[in-house]
Structure 1
Amino acid sequence: MLGGCAVRERHAAAPEPVASPLRILVFTRTSGWRHDSIPVAIETLRELGGEAGLQVEHSEDPMQFDADTLSRYRAVVFANTTLDVLDVAQQQAFERFVGAGGGYIGIHSAADTEYDWAWYGELVGARFDSHPPGLQASPLRFEAGHALAGTEGWQVRDELYNYRRNPRAHVDVIASADESTYAGGTMGADHPIAWCHTRLGGRAWYTGLGHDIPLYADPRFRAHLSRGLRYATGQSDDC
C-alpha cells in the first residue's frame, strides 16, 4: 500500500509479430545472347515488387540455387536468361523448390534457356524457335478472364517469338499475338504469347514480351508483369 492506494502493476502489451516480407529472386544469368533490357527489367521488377509488398533481390550467381537459399524465396524470376545457366545439382534444387510450391516467372528469353533440361521445358511451357527480324507490332488478344483494365486493343511493339510448340494444350493461355498483322510468324492463327500453369507443383507464369527497353515504361506491360508477380507469389489466383 502507498498513500492508502493499492499500486497496480502495468503490463505493456506484447508487440505484434512482424511478418517477414515475401521475397523473390530475379535471376538474369546468360550464356548466349544478352538483352540490353536486363537492367531496366530488374529495376521494373523492383518497383512492381515494392508496390506488391515484395522484397526483390537480384543475382546472376547460380550458387543461389540450393535448398537453403531457395527456401528464402516465394518465387524466382528468370528475366531474359539464355542457354545454360544452372548445373545438374542446381537444376535438381530448383525442381524441388517448384515441386514444393515455389513460384516461377519467365520473361521473354527465359524460353531460350536450358534446352537440355526437359523439366524446365515443361515449366516454361514452350521453347523459343525463332523470331522475325526487328520488332513486330501486333494487337494482343486476351483470353476470357485474363484481360486487364486498359489493355483492350493493346497494340504491342516488341520482338515476338515463334515457339517450338503451341503450349495451349499444356497451359492456361493468357494472351495471344495476331500473326496477320506482321511478317515472320510461324505459328498460324493461334499464337500464344503469355500463359500460366500449376502442372509441376508451384505456380508458373510466362510472358514472351520483354525484349524492348521502352516496353517496360508502358503501363499496360507493367500491369501485365505485376499480375504475374502477384500470381506466382500466391497473392492472387488471377494470372
Structure 2
Amino acid sequence: MNKKVKKKEIIDHYKKLVEFLGKVLGENYEVILHIIEKGNSYVGAIANNHISGRTVNAPLTGLALKMMKDKTYLDKDYVTNYKGFTKLGAEIRGSTYFIKDENNELIGMLCINFDSSKHKKITNDILDLVQTQLHMISPMVDETAISNKAEKEELHDQEIIEYFSDSIKEVVHSIVDPSFLNPNIALKQEQKIEIIKQLSKKGIFQLKGAVSEVAELLNISEPSVYRYLKMIDKDKR
C-alpha cells in the first residue's frame, strides 16, 4: 500500500476516535488530533474545544513542538498528566499519545486535556464546609492546613507545562523571553540570532508560516531568518 494512502487511513481513523472520545468522556475533556507533516504541523480534529478555545488548523503548542524536536516519541509511546494553561489562565491536565508509522516516525499526536476546574470548586466547597464545622467544634483546629489540603496533595514537581494558543504569534510569545518582545527596544544581531536559536530548539519552524511570523516579530526579512538558521545549523556541526 502507498505510504501516503496508509498514513491518510491512520489519520482518518484517529479523527473518528476524536469525535467518539469527545462524546464518551464528556464536556470536561478536550480531545485533539495533531497532524504531523514536514514543515506543517497543525490541529486536524478537535472535540470539546470550548476548554482551550483552539480550532482545526490551529498550530501546535510549544510543548508539542518541543516533544517533536526532542523526539520524545522514540523513547515513549505516551506522556501523561502534565499541567497546562488555557489563554484565560484555567489550569488543565493533559496527556499525549504518539501516533507512529511502521518506521517509528511520528505522524500524529492524540491529546486529551481534562478541565478540572469544576471538580476543584466542588472540593474547595467541601473543604470550606468541613473547616467551618470543625471550627464550630474546636476553634483550635489548624484551619490553614485543612483549607490547603487539596493544594498540598498536588505539590509534587511538574516538569512539563503546556500553554494553549490558537495562533503562531501566541506560540512564539509563549517561548520567547517577554523582555525581548518590547517594540521600543532595538535588538542587536546576536540577540536576534539567540532568539531564533531558542525558537529552533523548541521546533517552532516546523509550523507553516513561522518564518514570516518570526521575521515580523524581530523586524527583519524572511531571508535573514533563513540565513540565521543556516548559521545556527552550521555552528552545530
Which is strand-richer, 1 or 2?
A: 1
Give the TM-score normalised by structure 2. Answer: 0.24
Which is helix-richer, 1 or 2?
A: 2
Give the TM-score normalised by structure 1. Answer: 0.24
